[in-house]
Amino acid sequence: MSESTNRPRVYDAVLGGQEKAPPAAVVLGGLEGVKRRLANPVVEQRIAALEEALKYGKAGLELVILALEDKLWKVRQAAYSLLASRQEPLVQQVLEEYNNKSDRYDTFVAMARTGGVSDIDTLMDNLENDRTSATCKLVDYTLGLVNTHQGKDQIRHYLFNGTQIQRNYAALYFKRRGAKDILIEAVQQGCIDRVQAFSK
């Protein structure tokens, strides 16, 4: 019978009483201890927990894979480094998806900062053709980086001539910049409604 992954092993610290330990203390062993350390606000503790997680088989591997979505870049990088040398098909697929997402993010940010007409067209095309939550958030974020005259003019073009979703995100762009005149004009032409243009 296989040993439970939640039970401490010889290399784990001993679980003490139920009092809260100081943030830097390592007191809980087993997979449960790894999970707690992964929630620690200290980055180094989280990275150490990732390294230990791999000692707990599939359940530990899943924790490392989840860490690719961590809000902290250092934790994501540590998780990626730990997974990079593994050959399991699942891990290879996860890393491929992660790399595609990372490349896409960098590409979208670069296009937004360049801010040319074709760059805005590409961002808006992605918004129309891939309406997943991840794409909508990414386009929303990257449109916010557009600061060129050409880029602003092209976003204005989509406010008046785009599809519904493109008009919505163009309106958000101008709303965040406090461009009330453009929004009023779009409302008057029926491109967006008043609530969408001026709600908080």
Q: pLDDT tens digits for 7-16?
A: 555 444 544 4
CA distance 98 to 66: 11
pLDDT of residue 25: 47
Residue 140 contacts residue 164 (beta carbons within 8 Å):
no
* Distance separating the N- and C-terminal Cα atoms of the chain: 59
Instruction: Annotate 96-128 with b (16+ C-beta within 10 A) or e (fewer).
Output: eebeeeeeeeeebeebbeebeeebbebbbebbb
25 or 198: which leads in pLDDT: 198
What is the per-residue pLDDT across 80-114, written as a single tens digit (0 to 9) for each?
889 988 899 999 999 888 888 888 888 899 999 99
Residue 155 contacts residue 120 (beta carbons within 8 Å):
yes
pLDDT of residue 130: 85
Residue 130 contacts residue 123 (beta carbons within 8 Å):
no
pLDDT of residue 6: 54
Token pair 């620690």 is found at: 40
Measured torsion, CA atoms of residues 107, 82, 52, 5, in degrees rounded to the nearest 10: 90
One-letter amino acid at 90 equals L
Residue 2 reports pLDDT greater than 60: no
CA distance 197 to 200: 9
CA distance 177 to 151: 14
pTM: 0.56
pLDDT band of 65, cuts 50, 70, 90: very high
29 or 61: which leads in pLDDT: 61
pLDDT band of 26, cuts 50, 70, 90: very low
pLDDT band of 194, cuts 50, 70, 90: confident
How far are the Cα atoms of 10, 42, 54, 115, 134 from residue 36, in angstroms, in the given order? 19, 12, 15, 43, 28
Q: Where are the domains of the chain?
A: 1-86, 87-200
Residue 43 contacts residue 67 (beta carbons within 8 Å):
no
Helix axes 117-129, 149-161, angle to 10 degrees: 40
